[in-house]
Amino acid sequence: MRITTIGATATAVAVLASPITSTPTPTPASASAVLAASVVSKPTKAASVHGEARISYIESIHDDIRFTVHAEQTPFTRPMPPTAPEGLPTDARGTLKFSHSRGEVTGWAEATVDCLVTSGRTATLTAVVTKSNVEEPGARLGISVQQGGKGEPDRLGFSWGVVNVDPENIDENGQLVRPQAGSCMAPAPFTTVIKGGYKVVHAEITKSPTQPEPAPHHS
């Protein structure tokens, strides 16, 4: 029976001690240089979304539907020659898992995150299926997450079910074929989290590297 699915890292810190030597007191100029260097070396905050939750979906109101998301933006880490040889500012890494249980039957999928973009408490991401009993490996899934505020519940949307339909895309049996989601493409978070939740960290996207000027042509 096929059901319609919606779906301690330990860090060691080493402290290196060196012999105390007599060091001249920094002048105002050198102190400013040290401060400037510390500002430059400060790591940039990365956009991310983490969490797991059960959702309530109007089309399957009594089903047990859960999503686990762990994603972090890693700009310019997925080269796409020739149009984007450095990759994109929304490149990302992480994992997406979902399960949809109806009675004794469960549909599930695991996918690798490839794109993430955020705005305030909202994140949109896509992930490519690696293992599943309901999705084809290589299919890209789109997910949106909204972290609730002021007592509001978290919310989640997904790129299948009631969205992402192309009326002219019909298979040989006359059934609608679901188009694949493009990178970072997902609908608004239209379902409600009823257990668990998500944490969204927003960061502005990074400007793309300047493309090199073409070398002058000499005849």
The tens digit of pLDDT for each residue in 166-183 reads 888 888 888 878 888 899
The C-alpha atoms of residue 49 and residue 202 are separated, in whole angstroms, by 9
Q: Is 31 helix (H, G, I), strand (E, B) or coil?
A: helix
Q: Is the pLDDT of residue 15 over 70?
A: no
* Structural tokens at position 136: 């084809």
Strands 140-146 and 64-73: unpaired
The C-alpha atoms of residue 108 and residue 60 are separated, in whole angstroms, by 15
pLDDT at 49: 98
pLDDT tens, residue by residue, 19-49: 333 344 444 444 444 444 444 444 568 999 9
| Mean pLDDT across the chain | 82
Q: Is the pLDDT of residue 211 over 70?
A: no
pLDDT at 38: 42
Q: Is the pLDDT of residue 10 over 50?
A: no
pLDDT at 215: 65
Q: What is the gyration radius of the CA atoms in the chain, in angstroms?
A: 23
pLDDT at 36: 46
pLDDT tier at 218 (50, 70, 90 boundaries)? low
What is the pTM assigned to this prediction?
A: 0.74
Q: Which residue has the higher pLDDT, 40 or 102?
A: 102
pLDDT tier at 133 (50, 70, 90 boundaries)? very high
